[in-house]
Amino acid sequence: MPSPSTVSPSEAPLALLRPARLVPLLQIEDVADAVPLARTFVDAGLPVLEVALRTKAAPDAIKAIRAEVQGAVPIAGNIMTAHDLAIARRSGALMAVSPGASDELLKAASDQELPFMPGIATPTELMHVISRGFHVVKFFPAAPMGGAATLRAMAAPFPRVRFYPTGGTSELDFAEWIGLQNVIAVGGSWLAPIDEIRRKDWDHIAKRARYMVSQFMGKRDA
């Protein structure tokens, strides 16, 4: 997987996500869970991990994953403000991802080198982020906003745009999502439910991840 340092910031989301195809979305409440959880996914073949900045433990969790888990590619999710972007950068995240796209956040992202992916839900929002130079976006919340049919409809009017759908995705619809040529990867919290993380049920998480890799990885040309 290419290092983000070898590509431009605008290309980095593609470089990171296109090979990954499936990204676990993680809510980590205890820093002690970060390393074993990340190793579980890396060993299963899912190295790109979106850690939501929803908990006090999240920044230190990203630091620990970056420092201690060889092959892991931690990215910071749930970025809401310029302050969140600064936290993501200091934590060592290799990319920052937002569920939305305020003007303040887009400006802050444009003014720094950390690769950033804004979130959109509608064509109007998409046109706004395109006007600011962003062509790789998070589609959120994916299922409530029409699912794969919505992105299929967006392909013709927005041929340059590539999408990363999250929000209501599951193993039941992953194949449909990843079968779209304008989808580079799919994010899913269902890969690591919060109750399983709290129980430290790494075996169950690993089994689910290995199943997804065995069933779906490598079935579409990058």
Q: Which residues are catalytic?
A: 50, 138
Q: Decide if 57 contacts 28 (C-beta within 8 A).
A: yes
Which residue has tokens 């920044």?
Answer: 59
Which residue has tokens 């003007």?
Answer: 103
**Three-class HEC string of the chain:** CCCHHHCCCCCHHHHHHHHHCEEEEECCCCHHHHHHHHHHHHHHCCCEEEEECCCCCHHHHHHHHHHHCCCCEEEEECCCCHHHHHHHHHHCCCCEECCCCCHHHHHHHHCCCCCEECEECCHHHHHHHHHCCCCEEEECCCCCCCHHHHHHHHCCCCCCCEEEECCCCCCCCHHHHHCCCCECCEEEHHHCCHHHHHCCCHHHHHHHHHHHHHHHCCCCCC
Beta strands 48-52 and 22-26, pairing class: parallel
